[in-house]
Structure 1
Amino acid sequence: MQIIIVGCGKVGRTLAEQLQEEESDITLIDVSSNVITSLQNDIDAMGIVGNGASINTLVEAGIENADILIAVTGSDEMNLLCCLIAQKTGHCQTIARVRNPIYAKEISFIKKRLGVTMIINPELAAAQEISRLLRFPSAIKIDTFARGRVEMLKFKVLPEFNLDGMTISRITEALKCDVLFCAVESRDHVSIPGGNQVIHDGDMVSILASPVNAAAFFKKIGLKTNQVKNAIIVGGGTISYYLTKALLDMNISVKIIEQNESRCETLSDLLPEATIINGDGTNRSLLMEEGLSRTEAFVSLTNMDEENVFLSLFAKTVSNAKLIAKVNRLAFDDVIDNLDIGSVIYPKYITADYILQYVRAMQNSIGSNIETLYHILDNQAEALEFAIRENSPVTGIPLSELNLKKNLLVGYLNRNGQVKIPRGQDTIQVGDTVIIVTSQKGLRDITDILEK
């Protein structure tokens, strides 16, 4: 597959790194020669220094034979223009990153009239992920499948749960909750577990369940399942705007602390029901004065990763709030994950997963289609949702009789809106969507779950 990426910032780099594993020929376009050189040192790709909205530049990049053009520069308008020119010059699918809230209500118009295949809004996607976490604060991470009917929830096993030393089969039998343990991260290794896997305090465990069953499970082990009632957000950027709108719709009261006075005035006009405070969100006295010690959620969304991490560390010492920090730079994500600062949101990973999902869907056969894709277990495994379009070697045969690949779970079946954890005698049928969790990366079609 021929893919052109215009704009090689954080998102462009993350995309290029992941797409090079997808058996794709990648061409990178950026106005900075230093950026192109740096990327080519790490990635096997052709690099072109130039303006991605220039016809000459796109022709040099091979637009006439390209399958997909992805525009992820820092400018929404530039991204849309790149896609528009690509449509007129070649015959490829186009994906644009569009972040400005002004365009949020015009997405359908942009896609229909300008011919853009897919619009990605990292800030909106990040805000949606944060709002899910504040609805269910016990989870460290929540990913959704089957249009919200199934969720993958990640949580840390604490001593008060009394799960230490128990096998997964014993836990599910004792608690009688319809949940599927699909991933375990311990200090020594990460795995897609079987029923005999032993759970220990400190493990990070991911379960698949319907929202109702997940709530029942968490309630039985003693974890809080009610959404938060109030939140303090530090930083008044675009994510904060989208997040506050979502939280206000959930009847959660919100305070935003923003240093820029002009931005505070804008937010006050856009979000009249929220409390907007003009001040330095890193000021300890201000945070305490605004009720940090009493708040149920604290979200740090400044433009500085270091500030977000340290603010979460500080909040952890003075409150019992649900903590969420945004991190843009990915180089030290392993260090950050070990700090135990609650939930960490990486907008660049969210964007890359959405685009990778679309690329995989284009690459696979017409018999099935990837509806959803998430990277899990520190990027060592994937959770995918396939829509079954027609009969294939996996349909109509009991799961117990299928020769499935190792380290692969058939997690959930969604049939006519009814979701269930499949057992050995269950079959996959045309019209179903199926959730697969696997460390076998690169699945493009439902038949890829079988050993060849």
Structure 2
Amino acid sequence: MRVIVVGAGEVGSNIAASLADEHDVVVIDQDADRVDSITYSLDVLTIHGDGTSLDVLEDAGIDDADMVIASTDSDETNIVICGTAKTVDDPFTIARVKKTDFLRTWEHSNGAFGVDFMVCTDLHTAETMVRIAGLPGAHDVDTFAGGQVHMAEFEVGADSPIAGETVSDADRFESLTFAALIRPDDIIIPRGDTVIQSGDNVVVIGSAESVRGFAGSLTPEPTLEEANEIVIVGGGEIGYQTARLFEAEGLSPRLVERDHDRARQIAERLPNTLVLESDATDIDFLVREHVDESDIVIAALDSDEKNLLVSLLAKRIGVDRTVAVVEFGDYVDLFETVGVDVAVNPRVVTAEEITRFTRKETTENVAILESDRAEVLEIEVDHDSLLFGNRIMDAMRELPDGIVIGAITRDGELITPRGETVVELRDHVVVFVDTAVLDEVTSAL
């Protein structure tokens, strides 16, 4: 498949990297330094130019393109790129936007703007934060098989109850599979006698109940259903969408917004959200409003520095859990190192969503872990799959190291996979895969 990616920033670069091994990828950007950087780091064709220009798109081979992904930082530019591509041929077009207004318009008119699939950065970021907030201690959360299967990643601290335990000792929950232990320089496919070390990131796959139970065993923090106090700092689009999604879960968050007009607008739109007009970097305000008693504080202001400050202030006054929006990807590790529990990068969230969509021909769903060091895939088994009609233990002998069958759903029923389990036609199988063997595994399954 020939794919044209317009925009070589963090989103476009991640998308190009995920597609380059299997597809003919062309990347367009107006920034010469970005073009040079991606030329030397990825096996893709690069073009220095304006992706809204028909001449540039023609240079990129728009006549033969199967897909155009517009991933610049400008909503309007991305929409124009898709519309321009449609004037030449009929490639499948994907546009990244921030404004939910564009998304709502597109949803009400099939193919509006010449866009076949639209990804809203702010909305997906809010959805990610709500999923993470719903599972105490989790750094990453995703669902598969229509919500029947959950995947979560947890960091094991020195004081974690499972630090120093073997996997068999830590595995106390029905319908739960320990898929991997991710370390800075290695990915361990665990066995029963594998020892879980402090600093490991543990990836588990299983039923929602088992994953929640495992999360509860690691931390006393409340689940989303048990949370009494949720404070969102920042009434921009991400903060607003996060509050709206919490309301949809039946919760009543508090939202802090400094701007009077914006605070009033949000209060009118969200009847079950208490909007406080103030500066959340004022520690006296935080104490006066008993923010220290909240279960979780979500920092969604318009700058990384402010989000870091709010998160650290919240920690200082006693808040158990903080989640912060981080626009600059290189800051994610810094935020989590200095005390922020989870840092969410909107650009990475968007890149993952677009990559997930481009994989739909071969997989039902995809979650990308640890900056693409590993993936969790959902596949539907057909006659050509190595799994079809075989016991898992037999099929695994034909597959490389670096893969774990995490869960199976069959006719709406969740099956915890064991070595003797026989995989049947049209089973949905959720698989953890080390990226190093991804191509081999996906072609076999």
Query: What's the counterpart of residue 153 of structure 1?
Result: 152
Q: Secondary structure at the match of 2:4?
A: strand
Is the 8 Å Cα contact of residues 281 and 287 (structure 1) preserved in structure 2? yes
Question: Sequence identity of aligned pairs in percent?
Answer: 27
Say if 1:223 and 1:150 are closer, same or farther in 2 by CA, change over 3 A: farther
The 5 A counterparts of 1:427-438 are: 427-438=422-433
Query: What's the counterpart of residue 365 of structure 1?
Result: none
Q: Which moved more, 1:285-294 or 1:295-304?
A: 285-294
Query: What's the counterpart of residue 380 of structure 2?
Result: 387
Is the 8 Å Cα contact of residues 386 and 446 (structure 1) preserved in structure 2? no
TM-score by structure 2 length? 0.89
Equivalent in 205, 210, 213 of residue 207 of structure 2: 210
Amino acid at match of 2:426: G
Amino acid at match of 1:177: E
Amino acid at match of 2:230: A
Shift of 1:400: 1.0
Amino acid at match of 1:393: L
Amino acid at match of 2:189: I
Is the 8 Å Cα contact of residues 183 and 377 (structure 1) preserved in structure 2? no
Is the 8 Å Cα contact of residues 155 and 200 (structure 2) preserved in structure 1? yes
Is the 8 Å Cα contact of residues 67 and 91 (structure 2) preserved in structure 1? yes
Is the 8 Å Cα contact of residues 386 and 445 (structure 1) preserved in structure 2? no
Whether 1:422 aligns to 2:408 is no
Shift of 1:70: 0.3
Query: What's the counterpart of residue 374 of structure 1?
Result: 367
Is the 8 Å Cα contact of residues 234 and 258 (structure 1) preserved in structure 2? yes
Shift of 1:43: 4.2
**Distance in 2 between residues matched to 1:110 and 1:423, nearest whole Å:** 46
**Distance in 2 between residues matched to 1:77 and 1:221, nearest whole Å:** 45
**Distance in 1 between residues matched to 2:250 and 2:310, nearest whole Å:** 25
Say if 1:12 and 1:395 are closer, same or farther in 2 by CA, change over 3 A: same
**Distance in 1 between residues matched to 2:318 and 2:389, nearest whole Å:** 53
Q: Secondary structure at the match of 1:396?
A: coil
The 5 A counterparts of 1:400-419 are: 400-402=393-395, 403-419=398-414
Q: Secondary structure at the match of 2:298?
A: strand
Whether 1:292 aligns to 2:287 is no
TM-score by structure 1 length? 0.88
**Distance in 2 between residues matched to 1:239 and 1:129, nearest whole Å:** 11
Q: Which moved more, 1:268-277 or 1:62-71?
A: 268-277
Amino acid at match of 1:209: G
Is the 8 Å Cα contact of residues 106 and 112 (structure 2) preserved in structure 1? no
**Distance in 2 between residues matched to 1:115 and 1:444, nearest whole Å:** 32
Shift of 1:108: 3.6
**Distance in 1 between residues matched to 2:336 and 2:383, nearest whole Å:** 41
Query: What's the counterpart of residue 366 of structure 1?
Result: none
Is the 8 Å Cα contact of residues 409 and 437 (structure 1) preserved in structure 2? yes
Equivalent in 428, 438, 443 of residue 443 of structure 1: 438
**Distance in 1 between residues matched to 2:177 and 2:297, nearest whole Å:** 30
Is the 8 Å Cα contact of residues 135 and 215 (structure 2) preserved in structure 1? no
Is the 8 Å Cα contact of residues 408 and 449 (structure 1) preserved in structure 2? no
> After superposition, what is the alpha-carbon deviation per residue over 1:146-185, rounded to whole angstroms, capped at 9, x for unaligned?
121111122234566643332112332xx35331111223
Q: Secondary structure at the match of 1:370?
A: coil
Say if 1:223 and 1:86 are closer, same or farther in 2 by CA, change over 3 A: same
Is the 8 Å Cα contact of residues 53 and 78 (structure 1) preserved in structure 2? yes
Query: What's the counterpart of residue 200 of structure 1?
Result: 197
Shift of 1:271: 2.3
Say if 1:75 and 1:251 are closer, same or farther in 2 by CA, change over 3 A: same
Whether 1:398 aligns to 2:391 is yes
Amino acid at match of 1:448: S
Shift of 1:195: 1.9
Shift of 1:96: 1.0
**Distance in 2 between residues matched to 1:160 and 1:85, nearest whole Å:** 56
The 5 A counterparts of 1:321-332 are: 321-332=320-331
Query: What's the counterpart of residue 12 of structure 1?
Result: 12
Query: What's the counterpart of residue 238 of structure 2?
Result: 239
Between the two proteins, the alignment pairs up a number of residues equal to 441
> After superposition, what is the alpha-carbon deviation per residue over 1:196-237, rounded to whole angstroms, capped at 9, x for unaligned?
211234533221121112233344566445322222212222
The 5 A counterparts of 1:100-179 are: 100-112=99-111, 116-157=115-156, 162-172=161-171, 175-179=172-176
Query: What's the counterpart of residue 337 of structure 2?
Result: 338
**Distance in 2 between residues matched to 1:176 and 1:285, nearest whole Å:** 43
Is the 8 Å Cα contact of residues 399 and 427 (structure 1) preserved in structure 2? yes
Is the 8 Å Cα contact of residues 190 and 377 (structure 1) preserved in structure 2? no
Is the 8 Å Cα contact of residues 403 and 431 (structure 2) preserved in structure 1? yes
Is the 8 Å Cα contact of residues 389 and 431 (structure 1) preserved in structure 2? yes
**Distance in 1 between residues matched to 2:350 and 2:273, nearest whole Å:** 28
Is the 8 Å Cα contact of residues 360 and 444 (structure 1) preserved in structure 2? no
> After superposition, what is the alpha-carbon deviation per residue over 1:52-95, rounded to whole angstroms, capped at 9, x for unaligned?
23322221221001121001223333323322331231232111
Whether 1:183 aligns to 2:180 is yes
**Distance in 2 between residues matched to 1:388 and 1:127, nearest whole Å:** 32
Q: Which moved more, 1:270-279 or 1:35-44?
A: 35-44
Amino acid at match of 1:395: F
Amino acid at match of 1:208: I
Say if 1:69 and 1:353 are closer, same or farther in 2 by CA, change over 3 A: same
Q: Which moved more, 1:153-162 or 1:229-238?
A: 153-162
**Distance in 2 between residues matched to 1:277 and 1:95, nearest whole Å:** 37
